[in-house]
Amino acid sequence: MNIIKTILVIAIFHLPQVMAQDASRDFLGEINDSDHPDGYREYVELGCWQCHGFQGQGGRAAKLVDPLMPYDGFAMQVRKPRNIMPVYSPNVLSDARLKKIYSYLQNIPESPDPDDIPLLSGD
């Protein structure tokens, strides 16, 4: 009986980790870059999506697009964050990869006008 309990406790304890691994495999293992503007891979690998969403739409932290800030301010925030955002030093994220991330965000299509979405038109 005790051994069954122990096995159950171990299984339940590890379940979230196993699920998390599967999720990250989906995100990182099956990225099809051709479906996204260039720089998507860097954006995902560096984990920006975790706080800013996959399209830079925001989530736990600020929205990055619509409008996207000028590159200098963007790079300054990544290298020396104003507040609680993690620091990304050039050792972790080179200037070249940072520029790719910026270009990814630049090429995300603008959100449509809500009036142009039939479901939201109220008719």
Which of 31, 53, 57, 74 is in the footprint of ligand HEC by CB under 6 A? 74
The answer to whether residue 91 forms part of the interface with ligand HEC (CB under 6 A) is no
Instruction: Give me the least distance between CB of 67 and ligand HEC, in Å please.
Output: 9
Please check whether residue 25 is in contact with residue 91, taking contact to mean a CB–CB distance below 8 angstroms.
no
Cα distance between residue 83 and residue 105, in whole Å: 22
Q: What SS3 class is residue 3?
A: helix
The answer to whether residue 50 forms part of the interface with ligand HEC (CB under 6 A) is yes
The answer to whether residue 47 forms part of the interface with ligand HEC (CB under 6 A) is yes
39 token code pair: 């720089």
The alpha-helical segments, DSSP class H, found in 1-123 are 2-24, 40-45, 49-52, 71-79, 95-106
Q: How many CB atoms lie within 10 A of CB 118?
A: 8
The answer to whether residue 88 forms part of the interface with ligand HEC (CB under 6 A) is yes
The answer to whether residue 82 forms part of the interface with ligand HEC (CB under 6 A) is yes
- Interface contacts to ligand HEC, rule CB under 6 A: 46-48, 50-52, 61-62, 64, 69, 74, 77-78, 81-86, 88, 93, 101
